[in-house]
């Protein structure tokens, strides 16, 4: 399982072993899955940056499943939704061509850029997932983002207490992709 994400998957501001990706490896092992998790996430990553790194990651790790947890930094930078969509399309297609199943994790952006951008940005995840029949976590930070007790002081990154909740968002969408 290759996790290609940004700071939310790179355990920004907390110890790496506290992050949801490390917790995923533990849960897989505890439940009898033999899958290895490779965390190729990087703080500050955009869909464009991930696209540049993806070919090497696919070649090196040959994943059966790719989890794409990206887009938040694109949205915070106000990148055009069409560009973000194009990057995601290539990330998905290249992963699938390499034989991997893809799980897409959706994000929302703050309303700073206005409702048209905010709505178009969030809608792109469903628009990508539906025609490709990809499993989708609609909003990764659902139940976390607005809870100060689960967020770091920066208001952007979940703290260690939030990580099991993030894993719980991913788990039901991921397990159907994993053979035992």
Catalytic residues: 7, 154, 157
Contacts of 168 by beta carbon, 8 Å cutoff, 6+ apart: none
From CA 1, how far away is CA 38, in angstroms rounded? 6
Q: Three-class SS of residue 84? A: helix
Residue 82 CB coordination number (10 Å):
10
135/114 Cα distance (integer angstroms): 28
Q: How far apart are CA 42 and CA 154, in angstroms?
A: 18
Dihedral-angle region of residue 122 (phi above 0 means left; psi in -120 to 50 means alpha; beta otherwise): alpha
Q: How far apart are CA 11 and CA 175, in angstroms?
A: 22
Helix or strand run (H / E) with residue 53: helix 47-61
């Amino acid at each position: 399982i290759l996790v290609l994400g940004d700071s939310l998957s790179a355990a920004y501001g907390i110890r790496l072993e506290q992050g949801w990706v490390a917790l995923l490896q533990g849960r897989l092992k505890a439940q009898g899955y033999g899958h290895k998790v490779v965390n190729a996430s990087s703080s500050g990553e955009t869909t464009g940056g991930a696209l540049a790194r993806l070919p090497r990651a696919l070649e090196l790790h040959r994943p059966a499943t790719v989890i794409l947890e990206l887009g938040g930094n694109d949205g915070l930078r106000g990148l055009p939704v069409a560009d973000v969509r194009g990057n995601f399309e290539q990330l998905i297609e290249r992963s699938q061509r390499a034989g991997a199943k893809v799980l897409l994790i959706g994000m929302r952006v703050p309303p700073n850029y206005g409702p048209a951008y905010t709505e178009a940005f969030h809608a792109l995840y469903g628009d990508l997932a539906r025609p490709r029949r990809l499993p989708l976590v609609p909003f990764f930070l659902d139940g976390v983002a607005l809870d100060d007790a689960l967020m770091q002081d920066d208001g952007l990154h979940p703290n260690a207490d939030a990580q099991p909740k993030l894993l719980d968002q991913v788990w039901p969408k991921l397990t159907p992709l994993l053979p035992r």
